[in-house]
Chains A and B, each alone.
Chain A
């Protein structure tokens, strides 16, 4: 029988809360972190809202030596990893270094750092580009810096598949635990709120151009008009269940099942791959649809994508057959950080017996979903399903189960 991978630590950096306590208090009460961009002047751009993390001062949390060599996304990721390890009660220096690995997801890379260095390149010349640009922008840099800071030399890597990557990384972490590594730090953290990151996202044609924070990101609403991006995400500590039990660790729950598919070629008329990903994850977990207590939706807020997601959920659970929520309406879409943050929400929801709400959306009846809106819904949650789709046809689904 395969080794069971359990989650023992959570570290959250979210637009609506730093740390699990603040984040969960905000999330269950429907407090949004979306507002007009402050990190640069957004007025010349067609999209001007984002979920920014206020009050994060890297100097307060990280050694000075790390500051000149890290993008904001890496600073956030390092702090989230510190918090996750502390939450898990793990002191990495006390564990064998090859028994710990790091697998994160990335979508944007260190764009703000990279933008600054490119600006120096073109305005001052190549002599002025930081030597740290060699890795500070790179997709794998969060994994690398977490690995170095914590002395983790086991299997490590990065997964890049847009929003789906947040689940793909957790699945890869589970694979490494099954192959024998005792502990993997996983998840995803992004910070693409800078002009370069912004124009890259605008090119994808999926951003909301609304200026009203409460009307801009409305998945499954008839007024859906694209998404608001955000920064942040979550880092999780995954451990082999046996290792966690031996050290008497608190366990949030188990990574029970995973499925990933690629959409058929555009224009081919084939069914999108999300339903198969979802069914594969349930089968992998050995869970019947009726046992799923809540679905955390991908929530694209693009009408045809909302339709595809609702169709997949309804095909498996029946119309209105399962509570669905999208707390990312409070943070914006965090790309590779979104699904790890949803996983954190799922575990916190299990502990609290509350499904966090989808804010602002007035669900369109045509989607036939039981969307949890406005207020958190009391519920006994044993099994949760998280969905994540990436631009380019990536579909991933992950089932998590409460600890016994």
Chain B
């Protein structure tokens, strides 16, 4: 089975679909290390985003993944760690 990868583009697409995008933020800019809160996403927006990632990528995210991952880089890494673990198993 090919290993699926969760990319920044996937995250941006899912954020836009599920929670919209703040007009004052350029999601296409350098956002990897910007805090989600600065990008305009509160906890409920991340919950919705997490649900969509789970659905699309067939994984289960623990609640603390979403609260601990404060930035896109951290969330992408957490999701890919799960995807890698799934592929390895």
Known interface pairs A127-B51, A128-B55, A131-B51; A67-B44 also in contact (CB < 8 Å): no
User: Pick the contact of B18 from A64, A66, A68, A127 — CB < 8 Å?
Assistant: A68
* Minimal beta-carbon separation of A134 from chain B (angstroms): 7
Chain A neighbourhood of B83, CB < 8 A: none
Q: Contact between B22 and A64 (Cβ–Cβ < 8 Å)?
A: yes
Interface residues of A in 97-152 (CB under 8 A from B): 127-128, 130-132, 134
User: For residue B18, which residues in chain A have a CB less than 8 angstroms away from its CB?
Assistant: 68, 130
- Contact B48 A63, beta carbon cutoff 8 Å: no
- Does the CB pair A130–B22 fall under 8 Å? no
Interface string of B17-60 (1 = CB under 8 A from A): 11111110000000000000000100011011001001100000
A247: Cβ under 8 A from any B Cβ = no
A65 is an interface residue with CB less than 8 A from chain B: yes
B-contact bits for A52-85, CB 8 A (1 contact / 0 none): 0000000000011111110000000000000000
Cβ contact within 8 Å between B23 and A64: yes
A131's contact among B17, B22, B40, B44, by CB below 8 Å, is which? B44
User: How many residues of chain B get a CB closer than 8 Å to chain A's CBs?
Assistant: 15
Interface size on A, residues (CB 8 A): 13
Q: Are B48 and A131 interface neighbours, CB within 8 A?
A: yes
Give the CA-CA distance A156 to B22 in the complex, in Å.
26
Measured in the bound complex, the distance between the Cα atoms of B64 and A91 in whole Å is 39
CB of A158 to closest CB in B, whole Å: 20
In this complex, the member of A63, A65, A66, A128 whose beta carbon has the largest number of chain B beta carbons within 10 angstroms is A65
| B45 contacts across to A, CB distance below 8 A | 65, 131
| Docked pose: A139 CA to B22 CA in angstroms | 26
Residues of chain A with a CB closer than 8 A to B22's CB: 63-65
A67 touches B54 (CB 8 A): no
A104 to B19, CA, bound (A): 25
Chain B residues contacting A69 (CB-CB under 8 Å) are: 19-20, 44
* B55 & A65 in contact (Cβ 8 Å cutoff): no
Residue contact B20 to A68, C-beta cutoff 8 Å: yes
Contacts of A131 in B (CB 8 A): 44-45, 47-48, 51
Question: CA separation between A288 and B44, bound complex, in Å?
Answer: 53
Nearest A-chain residue to B48, judged by Cβ: A131
B44: A residues at CB distance < 8 A: 69, 131-132, 134
Chain B, interface SS category: helix
A130 to B19, CA, bound (A): 10
Closest Cβ–Cβ distance, residue A368 to chain B (whole Å): 55
Of chain A, the residue at the smallest CB distance from B54 is A127
Residues of the A chain whose Cβ atoms lie less than 8 Å from the Cβ of B54: 127
Does the CB pair A65–B47 fall under 8 Å?
no
Rounded to whole angstroms, the CA-CA distance of A65 and B54 in the bound complex is: 21
A130 contacts which chain B residues (CB < 8 A)? 18, 48
Q: A65–B40 contact, CB under 8 A?
A: yes
Q: Are A132 and B51 in contact (CB under 8 A)?
A: no
Q: How far is the CB of B48 from chain A (nearest CB, A)?
A: 4
B19 to chain A, nearest CB (A): 6
Q: What's the nearest-Cβ distance from chain B to residue A151, in Å?
A: 15
CA A130 to CA B17, docked complex, whole Å: 11
User: Residues of A contacting B21 with CB < 8 Å?
Assistant: 64-65
Q: Which residue of B lies closest to A130 (CB)?
A: B48
* A348, chain B: closest CB distance, angstroms: 33
- With both beta carbons as reference points, the residue of chain A lying nearest to B16 in the complex is identified as A64
Q: Are the CB atoms of A127 and B48 closer together than 8 Å?
A: no
Contacts of A132 in B (CB 8 A): 44, 48
Q: Which of B18, B19, B22, B40 has the most CB of A within 10 A?
A: B19
- Are the C-beta atoms of B19 and A65 separated by less than 8 Å? yes
Q: How far is the CB of A266 from chain B (nearest CB, A)?
A: 43
**CA–CA, A64 and B22, complex, Å:** 6
Contact A66 B20 (CB under 8 A): yes
**With A and B bound together, what is the CA distance between A64 and B40 in angstroms?**
11
Given contacts A131-B44, A132-B44, A134-B44, contact A68 B19 (CB under 8 A): yes
Cβ distance B6 to chain A, nearest Cβ, rounded Å: 17
Given A67-B20, A68-B19: 11 more A-B contacts, CB < 8 Å: A63-B20, A63-B22, A63-B23, A65-B19, A65-B22, A65-B40, A68-B18, A130-B18, A131-B47, A131-B48, A132-B48
- Can you give 7 contacting A-B residue pairs, CB < 8 Å? A63-B23, A64-B21, A68-B18, A69-B19, A69-B44, A128-B55, A132-B44
5 tightest Cβ-Cβ pairs between the two chains A and B: A131-B48, A64-B20, A65-B20, A131-B47, A68-B20
